[in-house]
Amino acid sequence: MNKLEISLLIMFTLIATGCETNKWQEHENRLINNYLISLEDTVYVHYSSGLYYIELIPGTGRSPVDLDTVYFKYKAAFTDYVQFDKNIPYSTPYKHVMGTFEDVQIGVDEGLRYMKEGGTSRLLTPSSLAFGFEGIHGIVAGYTPILWTIKLDSIKRGTGR
């Protein structure tokens, strides 16, 4: 192949891949919009990151910051409310060090920052803040928004790892 043929092949591949990506992003946007429309009067706060956040039960403690260790319970579901993961009602809360992303998605870390200790919130995370374009094989398809119901049990100040 000469340089022109290689350039054309690369260009067509990029165009085809871009079209496929746009199709899935449009599908994800429809899922998010349909979910939000179905809520009628319920209003989420929509942050510039793409996160949608609503407080269900106000907390009375402080909000976590980087390197705080948080303990929380959660349910994870799709926008049609089909649940695929949870640690509620189990007695052991999930442990996460704020600002690290080894064990939670970016959107969950961000959402926890808006919460107060003892509170419960619901997050709607687009795929860019959850499992991305790859998803989790056999569990979550790529470009899938996720609903998280989170109860922030406790915060340990700056304990880090």
Across the chain, which has 161 residues, the per-10-residue mean pLDDT values are: 50 48 86 91 93 96 94 96 88 91 89 97 96 92 96 87 54
Query: What's the confidence (pLDDT) of residue 145?
Result: 97
The first and second tokens of residue 102, run together, are: 């080894």
Q: For the chain, what are the domain ranges?
A: 3-156
Fold that domain 3-156 belongs to in CATH: Chitinase A; domain 3 (3.10.50)
CA gap 41, 99 in Å, rounded: 33
Query: What's the confidence (pLDDT) of residue 123?
Result: 97
CA gap 153, 118 in Å, rounded: 5
Nearest alpha-carbon partner for 35 in 85, 86, 82, 81: 81
Query: What's the confidence (pLDDT) of residue 110?
Result: 97
